[in-house]
Each structure stands twice: as structure tokens, then as C-alpha cells.
Structure 1
Amino acid sequence: MNFNHIPVLLVETIKALSCKKGGCYVDATLGGAGHALEIAKQIGANGFLIGIDRDSTAIEAARKKLAEVKPQVKLINDNFKNILQILTELRVEQVDGYLFDLGVSSHQLDTAERGFSYRQEAPLDMRMGKATETTAADLLNNLPQSELEKMISEYGEERWASRIAEFIIDYRQKKPIELTTELVDIIKAAIPAGARRKGPHPATRTFQALRIAVNNELEVIEKTIENIVPTLKVGGRIAIITFHSLEDRIVKHKFKDLARKCICPPDFPICNCDQEPQLKIITKKPIVATEEEVAKNRRARSAKLRVAEKI
């Protein structure tokens, strides 16, 4: 199967990583290897590129795309939350740069049977990797109403979460919810017609919430950033691309925490925490796609790139 994926903010990301010849770089969300291919070109024959993705389809597609590059390449089918274990197994102690392109890939959205898209009928799966046991259908058919509401409200930032959860419960009492089209119809029935006419597709936020919950996306981001900073060489950089405000907020605040010199309460007259900043924030404001890029790739419209450097 052809793994089609247009890398977002490609030029900006490669520039921000400031790749060094002969350096060691980790693309923690390999996807279609668009970013990885450019990193490989930058680091040259003496470089080492580590690509990680939980999606085995992405790994196989990347293997073909990167077959002719000059650096040594190691591709790992795993979740990036296991980066430290992966580096240990590869006997890599320090890295020159990390890239995270969070969220779902174009290929995953466009492959109907994966169940990520509300535009195509498919089983409600939404797993980024088959190692994940729980599907979106499992959550929809088993979570109590209060937990469904909380998930849709917090992960989807959906103002109609209460009604959507109520309608899901009513529907599943008659039959299990199995298809993306069934869920779309439930959501449309729950959201008043006037509210559906404004903004994005009415199913966007609920589908986002389900995808985040199924893949446990938000919980691992903050911890992973903490884990990898000690493995980063001085002057090395972390570049993270996010696609919704929840992810962006986590990255923004974690970078700020790691860049702070003092973590004492503000009412302490003298600092006694001995906290030393670990990062310098390179992007005071996130880098976003140009109008030209958004015109070519609509999925770039919500992308935000934040970059920090080890000090």
C-alpha cells in the first residue's frame, strides 16, 4: 500500500533542528518519512538516523523511502514513550536532535478501514498501532455516560459533550455503535442544527477526543519530553509539531518549566531550589504554516511548531 503523507512545516522544521553533519537524530513519529528524508540529507554519510513509529505500515513505507540515503538508519516499530529503552538497546547515549510530529498522519486519515475519518464509512477503530487493544468502538460501547462526557469535553473541547454522550447512551441501548457513519449521525442528532452550521464539521471534536483517548496521546507527551532532555547534547534541539490546542499547551508549558531557573513559590524571599534551566526556548511564539502551504495542504492549517535547545 502506498503511504501518502505530506510533511507539514518541512522547511521550517529542518531549519529549526539545525542538523549537524555526522549527527545523531531521532524522528520519533516517522510517518511517511518526509521529515526523516530531509534530516538524512542534512546529516550525511557519517550521521545516524533513528526512526520510530507505532504504525507498522509507516515503518515499511519509510524503509523503502530511506533505502538509498547515506546515513546509517535504524527504524523501530514502537511507541515513542519507550524512547529511553530504544536508545539503550541501540547503545546510544546522546542525541543531537529530536523531532515529534504529533497527531494522525494523512495516510491514516485517508485509509478508510482505520476508522480515523468521519468522512468515510469504516469500523470505529482509530488505533495508531495494532499493539493497542482498545478501539474507539470499545470506548463508545462501554464507558459510562459521565466518562464519555468528560472524554469528549476535555479531549475534544466540545461544548455539546453532554448531549453527545447522552445520545450515544440512548443509541447503544438499541444496538452497539460499530461504524464511523453511525457515530456521525449520533453527533449530528445531538448538536442543534443552528450550531452545526458554524465552524468545522460537527464530528471533528468528538472524533479527535476518541483518537486521543484510544491512543493515550496526551499522557505520554509531557513525560517523554522530561525523559529525553538528559539524553540531548548541549546545543541539541527538540522540535515538536502539534495540531490542536491541548497538545500545544502541554509542549509550551513543559518547555517553559524546563527553561525556568527557579521553581520556588513566588512568595519565597530567597531562592533555595537550586534549579538550573535545562532548555532555552527558541520559538517564543509557535511557527505556523504559510498561506501558500495551507493552500496546498489543508491539514497544515492547525500545525504549530515549537523548538527548544539544550543548554
Structure 2
Amino acid sequence: MANATRKWNRDTWPIAAAMIQYPNILADGRSVQDQSVEEWALTLDDVVDAGFTELDPTDSWIRLADLSSARLESFVKLTRDLGLTMPGISTARRSVIDPVHGDEYLAYGHRVIETAAAIGAGSVSFGFFGPLTDAQKKALWFWTVDGVKNPDDAAIWQKGVSRIRELGRHAEELGIELALEMYEDTYIGSADSAVRFVTDVGLANVGINADLGNLIRLHRTVEHWQDMMAKVAPYAKYWHVKNYNRTEDETSGLIVTHPAPLEFGVINYRTAIRLALSHGFQSPFLCEHYGGDGLSVSATNRDYLRRILPRD
């Protein structure tokens, strides 16, 4: 893909807002799934006011694949009325190798792919990370506490490969790409493991969501972001972008991280994106940010991306 014709430039590249700062369960105990169209509109007005023209209906906020056909049609109409398009759908904490819900999540994954096709989204992001533990929910930053780990088990690895290949073939039939999200202690938890996994899957439309922020934020030793990016760039697809400040005290061993806007964190996204582009990267971006007004920081990050993406 290294010299493939580019589809977009800095003005047209799809850069979506994530909805991670909006919970699925509301303060009154209701689910976003059951809200009225008018209530959905109040939330999406925030996205429009932040200047976004693209939205990822992240399933930690709303599970489009679990809406009825009529409700899905109403949601899509709302987004269009608001001037929003949906280039991708991201899933979270619904691993197809979950020891309890894996079969359920595999079926859900197929519904997500069909929903993506129905709404005109060309990308879907899946991951192998599990639900937050009670300790993670209590922490200020959940990534400072160890969570669910994928087992060091060749049979489970192969089960994951087989199930992602199954989803990938379904997506391929519908013209959709799958991106597997890099996340600690999963089979996509390091650059080497991620490359090995997608190579085992062996489908051109299945690649890596190079969310290096998920690894750089860890309070432990991790591979340098540039070395990771060099390995995963040839496989990069739908890309979640976020950044962190990271301090490592070699004397004491102390490692401290904190969310940061894209242009101020330790990952140099100008360099990372140019590397991906040199390998033919042609997928949407998704802006995420934890802490504070995550949507506004994401909007700042979107503007930064538009400054550094190719002019034509």
C-alpha cells in the first residue's frame, strides 16, 4: 500500500469525536438506549458545538447494533440533520474471547459490522480488553490499576484469531475494515504481539488500531512509542488518537503519566502519522481524551491533526 493514491487531505480527512465521556447509564438509571430522539439530540448538540462533522457512536455510550431498525433509522436521521457522518464504530470491553460472554460478544460483533454497513461506516474497532475491575473503577485513572489479562494460552490465542478472522470475512463482504485496538495485557498489548496476531488472522482488511496512548499511559516500563509505531505502521487502520505526558525517574524507578492534548504529549503525532502515511494509511481518526472536558480537548486535537495532515 506504500504508494497507494490517497483518498483524503487535511480538509477532508474523517476525524471523529469519541463519546467516551458520555456514559450509557444515566443519572436517573435509564439507559441511553431508551432515550428519545430529542434527548439524543441534546447530547449530540455538544459534538456539533465542538465543531465536529464526524461522530463515532462509541458503544460505551450507545449500542447502535442493539437498537431496533426503526430506532436506528431515527438515530441516523438525527445525525444527518445535525450535519454529522459516522465513519466508524468503536466497541469497548466486549471481547470475543471473554470467558463468560465470548459467544454473545461474537454475535454482537457481527451485528456491529452489519450496522456499520447500514449507516455507511467503513471501519469498526474491536478489542480484547475486559470490563473494568472494581479497583479500576475506584481509581482516579483506571489504567494505574491492573485489569483483566488475556491468558497465556495458545488455544485461547487461536480461538481469538479464528473469531476475528470470522468477523473479518463478514466485514470484507461488506467492504468494511476491522482495526484491533492496542491495549495492555491483551493479545494486542504490544507492537510485536499485535503484528503477530493480525498476521495470524491473515486478512487484508484486518489491521491494528495503533492506540499507543493506551500503552504510553501505563505506570510501568513500555517500549518507546517510536519503536512501536515503526512495527505497527504497515498494519494501521482505524486509529484512536490520544496522548499523555510521561515522566520516568531512572533513579527511583518512579513512572507517572497524565492525559495531554495530542501536540503536547510524549508521542510525536506528526512523526507517527507521517510514518503511517508512508505505508499507505487511509483510515479515519478518532479523537479521545480522558479527564476534564474531554470533548473540547478532542476538538483541539482534531484541529491539530488538520494542521499536520497532507495538504493534498
Q: Same fold (TM over 0.5)?
A: no
> Per chain length, whose mean CA-contact separation is higher, i.e. which structure has more relative contact order (CA < 8 Å, sep 6+)?
2
Report the TM-score, using the length of structure 1 for normalisation: 0.31
Q: Which has the higher helix share?
A: 1
Q: Which has the larger radius of gyration?
A: 1
